Copies of this chain bind each other. A is one copy, B any other.
């Protein structure tokens, strides 16, 4: 059915579609739905405790006999900087006053644990078939242990240079994350956010630069995009935003409403919500702070001080302070259950490939 079987054989899946491990929106129910239809289900652990991750994986294993992709962040933990955090809270103080939030109330710590000894032990215990990392790779010794535990290792490259770096360090496949993608840029070798590369340009240049198979991500939301990615030389695609429209997605009401109402050029890369550049629909806090402001503290600390504002605004139907993560192809989104969406994507891609070659 698929001509390029490199990723299918590497992962042991039927269709070249990977559910993006979107921390927050994706839990086991969506992973199960995608895996049941022959795509690769993912479980994002970055915002879960090890116990929660284990429980989600148990649910997945009980529901479907299929490989799973367990995802971890591997950022450098932030250096606490009281002065910077105080400046951030001071900048947000007018919003606290406006929404009637007590400025003296303790703010939650926005913790996203980078991959470490404890999480490595979790991988060794749970033995996921695929482990994906965001923001580069953890130390060499940990990567070796993940591989020894039987997992294929993948990570995201936002440039050709990052792809080469990942391939040299043993990645079994590389996600080529184009500029269009929603959520956090995987960027880890530095570089200006304004110089990030679009999927159309990035994928073939990465394919030419590395020997391992390439997974295209960014702006792909229907069968046309999947067929295009395969034409560019990708062996599979990773899809995020299209799955945010599914009923299984844990997306709050203002976020869901924004996804449905937005235009292609309504998103922006912003540091406001976490301290790292991530793509979301521009909203009030992004516009007023400045999307790429240096004011928000180091990743992931920036988010904590926004939580009390979200706690007030979201129940009132406002997404003014909410990270409205989205890629640029949100207008292609369809409100289908994740399993049905996966089947639809497969059928559309097959149809499209037949159509364009019919000459």
Contact = CB atoms under 8 A, between A and B. Distances in A.
Interface of A: 1-4, 158-161, 178-180, 191-192, 194-202, 204-205, 208, 218-222, 224-225, 227-233, 263-269, 282, 291-292, 327-329, 331-332, 352-359
A227 B292 CA distance: 35
17 contacts: A159-B265, A178-B198, A192-B268, A194-B269, A194-B291, A199-B199, A200-B218, A200-B329, A201-B221, A201-B264, A201-B329, A204-B224, A204-B225, A208-B332, A227-B231, A228-B229, A228-B232
Contact of A198 (B1, B198, B231, B331): B198
A225 B228 CA distance: 8
A263 B224 CA distance: 28
B264 A197 contact: yes
B199 A356 contact: no
Given A228-B231, A356-B3, A357-B356, A180 B197 contact: yes
Contacts of A179: 179, 198
A330 to B, nearest CB: 9
Q: Which 5 A-B pairs have the closest CB atoms?
A: A357-B357, A201-B219, A198-B198, A200-B219, A201-B328
A342 B331 CA distance: 34
A282 B195 contact: yes
A227 B356 contact: yes
Nearest to A3: B359
Contacts of A202: 219, 264, 328
Nearest to A207: B224
Number of copies: 2
B359 A356 contact: no
B355 A3 contact: yes
A251 to B, nearest CB: 19
A265 B204 contact: no
Given A232-B225, A265-B159, A328 B359 contact: no
A267 B195 contact: yes
Contact of A180 (B194, B201, B208, B229): B201
Nearest to A291: B194
B228 A332 contact: no
B194 A219 contact: no
A329 B160 CA distance: 11
Given A208-B331, A331-B208, A265 B161 contact: yes
Contacts of A194: 194, 268-269, 291-292
A238 B232 CA distance: 17
A198 B179 CA distance: 7
Contacts of A263: 159-161
A150 to B, nearest CB: 30
